[in-house]
Amino acid sequence: MFKKIIKAGLKMFWYLILASAAVVILARVITGLVAWQKTYAESDVPVRRAAIVFGAGLTRSGEATPVLQDRVETGARLYFDGKVEKLLMSGDNRFVEYNEPEAMRQYALKLGVPDAAIVLDYAGRRTYDSCYRAKEIFRLTDPILVTQKFHLARALFLCNALGLDGVGVEANNRVYRKVSLAFWNMRELPATLTAFADILTRPEPVLGNPEPIFPENAQ
């Protein structure tokens, strides 16, 4: 009797593992299809008024990490090529000593982007928050999303599911270590499931008064 219970338990365990794997794969397929339809090369991306540059961590000294530098560099090129008028730098600033948007701004200024073309979102703690606030606070409608390939599919899925007509450009300006890429892609598996849960439940991020980037979108 005990052996039968153990056997049934193991069978149920493997069924759960397979079901979980199927859910993860399906979620990744869906976000991948969105990205396939919405991702462009820098030279081919349609002109939009603004780009969202997503945060990606800081070094111990408070400067942009190489991953974040790539995102800012790509956003800067879009600006200089006339693809966008404004760059919305969205990152985490929940602690005084941790200010992603300001680090992004400083790096963009070093690249020659004028300060007037930079808008900072200090409450972009998660990709979901950045997309939500881009629409509700900054009143964007059709931004270009700038991030690496491993993250772009989830960002495009979230922003478009929240009502933005977003398209994406990959910020792959350097060769990343295979170990790092493997880690980032593995991290996207649970993050993608969380993204679907967020779209279903629609949690409200940190908000505030609207700050339209373009006055005509104030309403």
Domain that holds residue 135: 2-213
Confidence (pLDDT) at 6: 64
Confidence (pLDDT) at 202: 93
Backbone angles phi, psi at 51, to 5 degrees: -120, 145
Confidence (pLDDT) at 47: 95
Confidence (pLDDT) at 60: 87
Residue 121 CA to residue 18 CA, distance in Å, equals 40
> What mean pLDDT is reported for the chain?
87
Q: Is residue 28 part of a domain?
A: yes
Counted domains in the chain: 1
Q: Is residue 77 part of a domain?
A: yes
Q: Is residue 180 part of a domain?
A: yes
Other C-beta atoms closer than 10 Å to the C-beta of 149 total: 15
Predicted structure pTM score: 0.86
Confidence (pLDDT) at 179: 85
Q: Is residue 192 part of a domain?
A: yes
Residue 73 CA to residue 62 CA, distance in Å, equals 18
Confidence (pLDDT) at 109: 97
Confidence (pLDDT) at 190: 85
Sheet bearing 118-121, strands edge to edge:
39-40, 167-170, 144-147, 50-54, 86-90, 118-121
Q: Is residue 219 part of a domain?
A: no
Q: Is residue 207 a contact partner of residue 121, using CB atoms and an 8 Å limit?
A: no
Confidence (pLDDT) at 56: 87
Q: Which residues of the chain have pLDDT under 50?
A: none
Q: Is residue 218 part of a domain?
A: no
Q: Is residue 150 part of a domain?
A: yes
Q: Is residue 153 part of a domain?
A: yes
Confidence (pLDDT) at 107: 96
Q: Give the distance, in angstroms, between the CA of residue 119 and the centroid of all CA atoms in the same chain.
A: 16
List the CATH number of the domain containing 173: 3.40.50.620
Confidence (pLDDT) at 13: 55
Q: How far apart are the first and last CA of the chain?
A: 68
Confidence (pLDDT) at 2: 58
